Amino acid sequence: MPDVQGRCPACGTSSLFLSEGGHVTCSRTACVAPGAADQLLHGEEAALAELLGGGPAGRGIAGMLTMYGFSFPKLRHATDADLMAVPGIGEESLAVIRRAFPAVAEPDPVAELARLREGLHKFRYALVSRAGRETTIDFMRALLDDVLKYPGEPCDRDEQYARAEEAEAVVQRIRALHRPVEHNGRTICGECSGWDGGSTDNSPCGYGQCSTLRALDNPEG
């Protein structure tokens, strides 16, 4: 049951139990199709057709949705535009689908990012206090629940990777400037000591005393 994974395919909650006769049933009284998981074992299209009202219309819509890869989990998060892009799905069919799978409000990316930043800010300060450390697990769980509530990511993945690579390149350039140099029997920092290839303009700075490298190696220090 790859599309169930412990959750009711009709309402999406972790409310399934094994009832009499070995049938998998949803325990929520508000579930629109408590037997959907059991029917899913015998064919998702049949379960979807019943959820859409049954009859020729329900079976027709279910057939088209199944043909174009709309599983129960995907239907719960599909937009009107996603559904209308399926051949044969018009306004009337969309209305039938929405009665079974109400549209999920899209999160505001700006608001979600602001909430994420606020949560990370609070988490950082909570960790430095005894009370914060004692509640770290609950705090982090709530933060992850908020971040992972909706599919997708608050930021573009490619942009995240590009920024990380750019930051790493900057760090490597800084390390190249503050490279170790052998001078008069000592290993010094070339940049901090003003090394010109033969002498220093400043008092030689020991390589282990370079504050820039210490900051790079221990950003929390």
Q: Which residue has the tokens 């020991």?
A: 206
d(CA 182, CA 198): 10
For residue 60, give the 3-state DSSP assignment. helix
pLDDT at residue 4 in the model: 44
Beta bridge mates, 187: 182
pLDDT at residue 119 in the model: 75
The pLDDT of residue 3 is above 50? no
86 Cβ contact list (under 8 Å, min separation 6): 64, 65, 68, 70
pLDDT at residue 1 in the model: 38
Please report, for residues 106, 179, 183, 198, the alpha-carbon distance to residue 210 in angstroms, rounded to integers and kept in the order given: 50, 10, 15, 20
State what percent of residues in the chain have pLDDT above 90. 5
Q: Interior CA angle at 11 toward 96 and 17, to 5°?
A: 135
Condensed to tens digits (0 to 9), the pLDDT of residues 127-156 reads 666 666 666 667 677 767 776 776 555 566
Tokens standing for 218? 């221990």
State what percent of residues in the chain have pLDDT above 70. 74
The pLDDT of residue 219 is above 60? no
Show me where the domains of the chain are located: 16-100, 109-147, 157-217
Condensed to tens digits (0 to 9), the pLDDT of residues 166-197 reads 888 888 888 888 888 888 888 888 888 887 77
Regarding predicted confidence, which is higher, 151 or 30?
A: 30
The pLDDT of residue 202 is above 70? no
Contact present, 210 and 178 (Cβ < 8 Å): yes
pTM over 0.75: no
Instruction: Provide CATH code, domain 16-100.
Output: 1.10.150
The pLDDT of residue 80 is above 70? yes
Q: How many residues does the chain have?
A: 221
Backbone phi, then psi, for 18, in 5-degree steps? -90, 110
Condensed to tens digits (0 to 9), the pLDDT of residues 92-119 reads 999 999 988 888 776 677 777 888 888 7
d(CA 152, CA 109): 11
pLDDT at residue 2 in the model: 40
121 CB burial (10 A radius; 0-12, 13-18, 19+): exposed
pLDDT at residue 95 in the model: 92
Q: Phi-psi category of 2—alpha, beta or left, where left has phi over 0 and alpha has psi -120 to 50? A: alpha
pLDDT at residue 130 in the model: 64
Which stretches does DSSP call E strand in the chain?
16-18, 24-26, 180-183, 186-189
The pLDDT of residue 18 is above 80? no
Pairing mode, if any, of strands 180-183 and 186-189?
antiparallel
The pLDDT of residue 22 is above 80? no
pLDDT at residue 21 in the model: 58
The pLDDT of residue 211 is above 70? yes
